[in-house]
Amino acid sequence: MSMTTTDPGVNRPSAALADDILLGWLRKMLLIREFEIRTMAAYQQAKIGGFCHIYNGQEAVVTGTFAAINDDDPIITAYRDHGHALARGMDPRHCMAEMYGRVSGCAKGKGGSMHMFDKPNWLFGGHGIVGAQTPVGAGLAFGAKYTHEVLKRGPKKVCLCFLGDGAINQGAFHEAMNLAGLFSIPVIYIIENNGYSMGTAIHRGTTMHDKLYKKAEANAIEPIEIDGMDVLNVYDKFKPYADMLREEQRPGFVDLKTYRYQGHSMSDPQKYRTKEEVGEYQDRDPINSLAHHVLSQRECLTEDEFKALQKEVKAQVKEAVAFAEADPAPDPEAELYSDVYANPQPNLSPIRDYVEGAKNPLL
């Protein structure tokens, strides 16, 4: 279907994208949403353990930003990471199996919900300690820049390092920003600003909460703010910004305003906000917005095709759950003492010798 849109944004980068790309985004966001619905159900049935953080409402963040970068750009994020893994291309079966603690999980059941790693897709985790991924993200970008400039191998890259609004207040992040600014490291810090860190509204924990960009400027980083409830908007604002930072090999900071529909984790009574507030954001749901755009503006999808797409995604996630259900638990004999050392040798532990692990299912 042609681009007979009356959308005022004909000059926007997304306007030049083929229909298939936008439909791919829609599929991706539907997949993440459906995956999380199944995740919550499995958690309530105690199939998934530990802490588990749901991404609903924030789908446009990963979908729009990933679309603006290359497949071999490194990505690192916090524990609310299922969306990042799926958007980056991890097979939902391996993602679900990881949460089930099964051997075909992306980390063979050794990481869990908060620690999704995907080497083929350049996803360097899922990190459970708030803010701990931010210096590491600077290091990934440093590694890419060093590889390009010193080793003379590989293209110019950017690293996307995601963090929550609460993570802004970690010392590690301020050290990381200073280093990134100082060394001109092409790491783009993307604040997934959903307004809350657990039950703490941003203004209760963060100075200048409505001017977060100033914290970046204080570290010689040129920031931007993006409304993250609309994926087209995310892409349109982020794409030229990321292109510029890649070209100039310097850091970025995005105050990406978004919202999480669910509680902080699976055990959150959500007394700190009203249903009305949640409703206001749900009225601007990123999936509905994009669906509306492709159905009614671009007209590159029919209602029937949309229904078929939803059905297809549901079936895919259902299959992922069935896969995780059927997948065996890791054998402690083989897996407990593997992957501790890349180069295991005798006498590293008084308990037992470490061994090389079975090959990771993603590799």
Partner 1 sequence: MPATIETPKPDFTHTPSRDGDRVIQFREALREALSEEMRKDPRIFLMGEEVAQYNGAYKVSQGMLDEFGPERIIDTPISENGFAGLGIGAAMYGLRPVIEFMSWSFSLVAADQILNNAPKMLYMSGGQWGCPIVFRGNDGAGGQLGSTHSWCIEALYSNVPGLKMAIPSCPYDAKGLLKTSLLDDDPVFFLESERMLGDKAHVPEEEYYIPFGKAALRREGSDCTVVSFGRPVHFCLDAAEELAKEGMNCDVLDMRTVRPLDLDAIIESIRKTNRIVVVDQSWPFASVASEVITQVCEHGFDWLDAPPVRVNSDDVPTPYAKELEAAYLPNAHKIAQAVRTACGRA
Ligand X SMILES: Cc1ncc(C[n+]2csc(CCOP(=O)(O)OP(=O)(O)O)c2C)c(N)n1
Which is nearest to 3 in space by CA: 255, 13, 17, 12? 17
Q: Is 360 in the site for ligand X (CB under 6 A)?
A: no
Minimal distance, residue 88 CB to partner 1, in Å: 13
Three-state SS for 251-315 is CEEEEEECCCCCCCCCCCCCCCCCHHHHHHHHCCCHHHHHHHHHHHHCCCCCHHHHHHHHHHHHH
- The verdict on 194 binding Mg ion (CB under 5 A) reads yes
Cβ atoms within 10 Å, residue 331 = 10
- Residue 338 CA to residue 42 CA, distance in Å, equals 28
Determine the Cα–Cα distance for residues 128 and 262; give it in Å rounded to an integer: 19
* CA–CA distance, 67 with 85 (Å, rounded to integer): 14
By CB under 6 A, residue 165 contacts ligand X: yes
Q: Which residues form the interface with partner 1 (CB under 8 A)?
A: 72, 74, 76, 105-111, 115, 117-120, 122, 124-125, 127, 129, 132, 134-144, 146-147, 149-151, 171-172, 175-176, 178-179, 182-183, 338-343, 345-350, 357-360, 362-363
According to DSSP, residue 50 is labeled S
- Check binding of 165 to Mg ion (CB under 5 A): yes
How many angstroms separate the Cα of 197 from the Cα of each of 36, 262, 279?
20, 13, 19
- Closer Cβ to partner 1, 57 or 101, answer by number: 101
DSSP class of residue 195 equals S
Q: For 49-52, which contacts have Cβ atoms below 8 Å and span 24 or more sequence positions? A: 49/101, 49/112, 50/112, 50/113, 50/114, 51/79, 51/113, 51/114, 51/128, 51/265, 51/266, 52/99, 52/113, 52/265, 52/266
Do the bridges between strand 252-257 and strand 200-201 make them parallel or antiparallel, or are there none, so unpaired? unpaired
CB nearer to Mg ion: pick between 82 and 145: 82
Question: Alpha-carbon distance 150 to 127, whole Å?
Answer: 29
Interface residue with Mg ion, options 164, 223, 263, 330 (CB under 5 A): 164
Q: Is 222 helix (H, G, I), strand (E, B) or coil?
A: strand
Establish if 170 lies at the interface with Mg ion (CB under 5 A).
Answer: no
What's the min distance (Å) between Cβ of 131 and partner 1? 9
**Strand 123-126, strand 187-193: pairing:** unpaired
CB of 17 to ligand X, least distance (A): 28
Query: Which of ligand X, partner 1, Mg ion, none does residue 334 bind (CB under 5 to 8 Å by kind)?
Result: none
Taking the chain, what is the end-to-end CA distance rounded to the nearest angstrom?
A: 38
Contact stretch for ligand X (CB under 6 A) within 101-109, 139-147, 165-173, 323-331: 165-173
Binding mask 108-147 for ligand X (x = CB under 6 A): --------------------xxx-----------------
Yes or no: say if 123 and 136 are a contact pair by the CB < 8 Å rule. Answer: no
Instruction: Report the site for ligand X in 228-247 (rule: CB under 6 A).
Output: none
Cβ 337 to partner 1 shortest distance, Å: 9
Tokens of 14: 């997304």
Binding-residue pattern over the window 191 to 220 for ligand X, x denoting contact by CB under 6 A: -x-x-xxx----------------------
Contact between 113 and Mg ion (CB under 5 A)? no
Residue 198 binds: one of ligand X, Mg ion, partner 1, none (C-beta under 5 to 8 A by kind): ligand X
- Contact with ligand X (CB under 6 A) among 80, 93, 94, 293: 80
User: Closest CB to ligand X belongs to which residue?
Assistant: 164
Does residue 164 touch ligand X according to CB under 6 A?
Answer: yes
Q: Which does 264 bind (CB under 5 to 8 A by kind): partner 1, Mg ion, ligand X, none?
A: ligand X
- Residues at the interface with Mg ion (CB under 5 A): 164-165, 194, 197
- Residues at the interface with ligand X (CB under 6 A): 80, 128-130, 164-167, 192, 194, 196-198, 264
